[in-house]
Amino acid sequence: MNIQPISALYAELCVLAGADEQLRRDLWQSLEKYDIFARTAHTSFAETCRQFISAKRVDGLSEKTLTGYEIDLRIFGAFLNGKPPAEITTDDVRAFLSYLQADRRVCKSTALTYLMVLRSFFGWLVREELLLRNPCNKIRSAKIDRMRTRKPLTPEAVERARRACISLREQLAFELLISTGCRLGELENLSPNAIDLQARSIVVTGKGDKTRTVYFSTRAKVLIMEYLQKHPGAKRILPGGRQIEKTTLAIGKRAGLEEKLIPHRLRHTFATHALESGMNIIVIQQLLGHTSLDTTQIYARISHVAVRRAYEQCIP
């Protein structure tokens, strides 16, 4: 499936134009105004998506990430009624993003995630020389204050949430999430075999199928031991991710929290409180499983408390 690049078409026309330099310049100026595709470029959206997912699988992306890509692209394709990628314009992408926020009521950060997926998809098509231009390039990403959208729980709110837990399973889910800082997918279906009670540690698999060791609190250890005593043959400590999410939402509602209590908010709370308690940000980066320190600094908002403590440690 080849696209007729403008430069190739221009070269052919120059042969016809001969030595007339002015005509050549006029031809180039005219051609620059258009996207010119060969007929073979009009492969179906679904087929192109399959090729993209296959390529990303070879690149080493996790199956969970690939599933997310497939879902987002399927929603985009359905919105455009399966329009071939070669015919998709910047206006189509803008209309889709507007639809997400106006009709599906997604938040700005979720819409930005969709845009990132589309940029990756069309960027791959351009690199594979299946498209000339990425229709997402002209779309400016909305500036989202991640510090504001990821508000950690205050210590008081953490205690309210603890008191709102009504079962041992709820207590376990809450304490493991807030004391390990793990992503939801890293703790779902947690097996007792993955837990080292003596070291208070768990080996989890994060993004990119990378494993790391995380640690849990003494409070979580007591709860785990109690759960295993009551369920000696249990094959897992925590349920699936969807059930954990429902659990945290219910806890937050009972606790009277203003914002929804999702697992990721507990992860952000862990990072922020760890930093405020004086933990080195490089250690926090390791515990969270971040490849880039920049990501850690987004999750772990540097508060005035942490700044003051760091200052007083260095300057008496």
Catalytic residues: 183, 207, 264, 267, 290, 299
Q: Which of 130, 123, 120 is nearest to 48 (CA)?
A: 130
- Token couple for 119: 């940029």
- Strands (DSSP E) contained in the chain are 195-196, 201-205, 211-215
How far apart are alpha carbons 212 and 220 in whole angstroms? 19
Beta-bridge partners for 195: 202
- Classified as helix, coil or strand, 316 is coil
Whose tokens are 């208070």? That residue is 200
How far apart are alpha carbons 228 and 260 in whole angstroms? 30
Contact status, residue 131 vs residue 93, Cβ threshold 8 Å: no
